Amino acid sequence: MQTRDFVVRFAGEGGQGVVTAAEMLARAASSVGYHVQTFATFPSQIMGGPTWTQTRISTSPVLSPGDDLDVLVALNHEAYQGHNEEVRSGGVILHDSEFESPDDERAIGVPFDELAKQAGEARSANMVIIGALAHLVDMPLAFFEDFVQKRFAGREGIIAANVAALRLGYEHASDSEVQIGQLEPPVKPEGEQLLIKGNEALSMGAIAAGLDFYVGYPISPATPVLLFMERNLVGPGKFAYQVSSEIESIAGLLGAGFAGKKAMTATSGPGLSLMSEGIGLSWIAEIPLLVIDVQRGGPATGLPTKTEQSDLQAALHPAHGDVSIPVIAPGTVEECFYGGVMALNWSERYQGPVILLSEMSLAEKAQNIPKPDLGQVVSESREVYTGTNGYLRYDGWELSPMPIPGGPGAYVANGSEHDAMGDTTHLPERHVQMTERRFSKLKLLEDGPFERVNGDEPIALMTWGGSKGPSIEAYEDLITEGHKLAWYYTMCLNPLPPALLEELRSKDLVIVPELNYQGQFSSYLRSLSVKAESITQFTGLPFKVRELKKRIIALAEACKGGKVAA
């Protein structure tokens, strides 16, 4: 039987190489032209604790982690118990024969470590597993042998051991005479591809847009951005540095943005909370800066290593007083790159703070994406004041060029309400004027692109952020099955593209899949006079497509039956 799609989950204990195995499989498969995506969920501890990572391999672009498992690789008995119910009928469970064989006809025991030792390299158990997997879906072992050759180029001993491990795993699985199908040969995507994670793509987007200055504080799941910047944001005029708190981070960005630099940080929910006052200062003093919030679950420490989309309202209104912060939320790993570019450009263009909302599931997801052409990336820079002294920095109703220290036009960037020259004032008419000035600048950001499919339908599906993948998959299935539904999507959550908002307002119902309890995006849409209802989930895990489809159909039927009050 030919299959086009293969989902394998590696489950075990932290430190057993679960993530490495999944990523190695993804890397090997993508290097021969398959589309891949990994999904990881970790315990919040360094060693131990149940952990699993899933790899999906397909002959066409992968949108979601995959609902059902074709193969579960169980590295211990707990992993078998915790995950075996998600293996589809006809699927296979590869388990370490070190632990007692489960009474399960799908189970195949493989002595992972013993075979690795036989291959001559105790650390090659991952290759034993990959060899066994190759047999199960009838993938040519040569794919993986080539991968090993390239990965360990020049280290002949290691290559030999790893190739031996692949073969031993393959042979061992062959003895079972079980196969779950033949994965069709890859259709190599056109153009060059990257294998990259969300956090890395965001970082690259910001660097491509000309990022100068990064300060940050370690916090899951945003830490990889700090590490990437510390390593790579180097050279003349660049600065990357770990500071003592998120309060220092936002203050540092304020100082650097004021001094003319393109500045950003990445954090997660708790850090966003600490930055609240500083983001308000950036809004009123008109200092460009970018804050990335890689969302995790819950308030306070919450679920540091699980995924959720529950910071939307906090991102729209992170600070006290009248503020409305521009928010961009990429929905795929590829969009993380372009969202990073756009967010930094927006902050420079309107001279103020921008929040980019990512989330744990995107941050740690490795995926193949078309390689961005840096020659096509537009990097915007704020308009700099070049006149003489005596300048009125905050004059006019929209934007005014920004003086940079060392140059002309010295002024006071002021967090108190101020007049045109930056001096503190309490005059009612000045507060009115300056408040209107700040809000008017948002008009400069109304050029965001959006997606529309079947726009004539009165009921629409519109998700946001990382729920995009499962939502597209559900949407495409539903259309194929004959359901009538429009599709809308944008990364630009605030301001929403005006033309999109106008269309949404004409709908009988906009259905919003999102990972939070309160239905934060649909309540935002309702505040903008859109009839919207959410499909919520708050398990710390992404949507499953099957579940999503059922709930979309139910809401759409309820709307047609007049049972949705929206």
Task: For residue 384, state whether it binds another protein (rule: CB under 8 A).
Answer: no
Task: For residue 407, state whether it binds another protein (rule: CB under 8 A).
Answer: yes
CB of 407 to another protein, least distance (A): 6
Task: For residue 426, state whether it binds another protein (rule: CB under 8 A).
Answer: yes
3-state secondary structure of 175: helix
Task: For residue 216, state whether it binds another protein (rule: CB under 8 A).
Answer: no
Do residues 94 and 71 make contact, with C-beta atoms less than 8 angstroms apart? yes
Question: Whose Cβ is closer to another protein: residue 366's or residue 496's?
Answer: 366
Size of the site for another protein (CB under 8 A): 72
Going by C-alpha positions, the residue among 183, 189, 240, 187 that lies closest to residue 217 is 240
Q: How far is CA 150 from CA 23, 155, 182, in A?
A: 16, 10, 25
Question: Whose Cβ is closer to another protein: residue 110's or residue 420's?
Answer: 420
Question: Whose Cβ is closer to another protein: residue 390's or residue 498's?
Answer: 390
Task: For residue 144, state whether it binds another protein (rule: CB under 8 A).
Answer: no
Give the interface segment with another protein, choosing from 62-70, 409-417, 476-484, 544-552 (CB under 8 A).
Answer: 409-417
CB of 15 to another protein, least distance (A): 26
Q: Cβ contacts of residue 355 below 8 Å, gap of 6+?
A: 272, 279, 290, 291, 292, 293, 315, 318, 325, 326, 327, 328, 343
CB of 240 to another protein, least distance (A): 10
Q: How far apart are CA 131 and CA 476, in angstroms?
A: 34
Tokens representing residue 453 in the block: 């499919």
Q: Which of 176, 425, 454, 523 binds another protein (CB under 8 A)?
A: 425
Q: How far apart are CA 525 and CA 509, in angstroms?
A: 11
Task: For residue 274, state whether it binds another protein (rule: CB under 8 A).
Answer: no
Q: Taking the mean position of all CA atoms in its chain, how far away is CA 222? A: 11
Task: For residue 386, state whether it binds another protein (rule: CB under 8 A).
Answer: no
Q: Which of 45, 60, 149, 245 binds another protein (CB under 8 A)?
A: 245
Tokens representing residue 535 in the block: 């499909």
* Eight-state DSSP code of residue 564: -
Which strands form 509-514's sheet, in the order they lie side by side?
451-453, 486-489, 459-461, 509-514, 532-536
Task: For residue 7, state whether it binds another protein (rule: CB under 8 A).
Answer: no
Q: Cβ contacts of residue 124 below 8 Å, gap of 6+?
A: 116, 161, 162, 164, 165
CB of 71 to another protein, least distance (A): 23
Give the interface segment with another protein, choosing from 6-14, 130-138, 229-237, 322-330 (CB under 8 A).
Answer: 229-237
Q: How far apart are CA 174 and CA 383, in angstroms?
A: 66
3-state secondary structure of 121: coil
Q: Which of 71, 110, 194, 493 binds another protein (CB under 8 A)?
A: 194
Give the interface segment with another protein, choosing from 176-184, 253-261, 454-462, 479-487 (CB under 8 A).
Answer: 253-261
* Strands (E) located in 97-172: 107-110
Q: Are strands 353-359 and 289-295 parallel, antiparallel or unpaired?
A: parallel
Q: Are strands 366-370 and 193-197 parallel, antiparallel or unpaired?
A: antiparallel
Q: Are strands 532-536 and 366-370 parallel, antiparallel or unpaired?
A: unpaired
CB of 363 to another protein, least distance (A): 15
Task: For residue 19, state whether it binds another protein (rule: CB under 8 A).
Answer: no
Task: For residue 263, state whether it binds another protein (rule: CB under 8 A).
Answer: yes
Task: For residue 195, state whether it binds another protein (rule: CB under 8 A).
Answer: yes
**Which residue in this structure is represented by tokens 């995107």?**
362
Do residues 176 and 342 make contact, with C-beta atoms less than 8 angstroms apart? no
CB of 265 to another protein, least distance (A): 11
Task: For residue 143, state whether it binds another protein (rule: CB under 8 A).
Answer: no
Question: Whose Cβ is closer to another protein: residue 38's or residue 295's?
Answer: 38
3-state secondary structure of 89: strand
Q: Which of 122, 142, 187, 234 binds another protein (CB under 8 A)?
A: 234
Task: For residue 149, state whether it binds another protein (rule: CB under 8 A).
Answer: no
Give the interface segment with another protein, choosing from 71-79, 86-94, 238-246, 501-509 (CB under 8 A).
Answer: 238-246
Q: How far is CA 479 from CA 60, 135, 388, in A?
A: 18, 35, 61
Give the interface segment with another protein, choosing from 204-212, 480-488, 492-500, 540-548 (CB under 8 A).
Answer: 204-212
Q: Cβ contacts of residue 68 below 8 Å, gap of 6+?
A: 7, 86, 87, 88, 91
Task: For residue 247, state whether it binds another protein (rule: CB under 8 A).
Answer: yes
Give the interface segment with another protein, choosing from 103-111, 131-139, 227-235, 477-485 (CB under 8 A).
Answer: 227-235
Give the interface segment with another protein, choosing from 48-56, 69-77, 127-135, 280-288 (CB under 8 A).
Answer: 280-288
Q: Which of 31, 268, 490, 520 binds another protein (CB under 8 A)?
A: 31
Give the interface segment with another protein, choosing from 178-186, 343-351, 424-432, 513-521 (CB under 8 A).
Answer: 424-432
Question: Whose Cβ is closer to another protein: residue 107's or residue 289's?
Answer: 289
- Residue 37 host element (H or E): strand 35-41
Task: For residue 252, state whether it binds another protein (rule: CB under 8 A).
Answer: yes
Going by C-alpha positions, the residue among 390, 212, 202 that lies closest to residue 288 is 212
Q: Which of 49, 157, 387, 390 binds another protein (CB under 8 A)?
A: 390
Task: For residue 227, state whether it binds another protein (rule: CB under 8 A).
Answer: no
Q: Which of 224, 352, 372, 448 binds another protein (CB under 8 A)?
A: 372
Q: For the segment 317-336, give every residue that binds another protein (CB under 8 A).
A: none
Task: For residue 187, state whether it binds another protein (rule: CB under 8 A).
Answer: no
Q: Which of 129, 133, 219, 285 binds another protein (CB under 8 A)?
A: 285
Q: How far is CA 537 from CA 54, 308, 457, 548, in A?
A: 20, 9, 26, 10
* Strands (E) located in 182-259: 182-183, 193-197, 213-216, 239-242
Task: For residue 374, state whether it binds another protein (rule: CB under 8 A).
Answer: yes
Q: For the segment 47-106, give every residue that binds another protein (CB under 8 A).
A: none
Task: For residue 281, state whether it binds another protein (rule: CB under 8 A).
Answer: yes
